[in-house]
Structure 1
């Protein structure tokens, strides 16, 4: 198991795109998430992403960070379900965990619909 605690890399999650400023969802996906996810997949391992201990998340950060894996990077949804777990241990972050998992599911639905 590979563990990624977002708070160790992103002190305050930013907006959607790199142009929106530091610690954007796009930056997180490209610089932090994808390299670790690729490592997990190549080793038939699981990347566990811990959402806890940041001030909060905007939907745009989560959508770009996680949904972008399917929309832009063309990861296979079933492979993501096997190799990526987005978790929180604090009640404060439970909604972000749900949103992150819903973002992945919705990105797959949009991809399947050809939109």
Structure 2
């Protein structure tokens, strides 16, 4: 079983940009270049959320985590099985899973509309 740990603070200390064109350290860049490849290559990925300068921007979190479902082709069940979030701030973990839950509902709704 392959495992890896990612530290967001090694990618950026200011986690608030959504898109790559918004500047360095965006959620989109983290998802595309770091998180998505790690999830594809490993059975288990732990993301350590601690060590950033301030708070996470919701735009970073949605783009990095929820859009694993909307844009990167991961299923909700796959994320529940493979993705682990760690932090001293439990609110960040809850917020990310809430965004992932919303993406799951969005994807289920789009399937029903077809």
TM-score, L = length of structure 1: 0.88
Pairing partner for 1:20 from 16, 19, 22:
22
Alignment of 1:1-115 (within 5 A): 1-40=3-42, 45-55=43-53, 56-88=55-87, 90=88, 93-114=89-110
SS of equivalent to 2:90: helix
The answer to whether the 8 Å contact 2:14/2:52 transfers is: yes
The answer to whether the 8 Å contact 1:49/1:84 transfers is: yes
In the TM superposition, structure 1's runs of 4+ consecutive aligned residues that sit over 4 Å from their partners are: none
Structure-2 separation of matches of 1:79 and 1:59: 22
Q: Which runs of 5+ in 2 are unaligned?
A: none
Structure-2 separation of matches of 1:103 and 1:87: 16
Q: What is the number of equivalent residue pairs in this alignment?
A: 108
Structure-2 separation of matches of 1:36 and 1:64: 16
Query: What is the RMSD of the two structures over their aligned residues, measured on CA atoms?
Result: 1.3
Q: Which runs of 5+ in 1 are unaligned?
A: none
TM-score, L = length of structure 2: 0.88
The answer to whether the 8 Å contact 1:86/1:101 transfers is: no
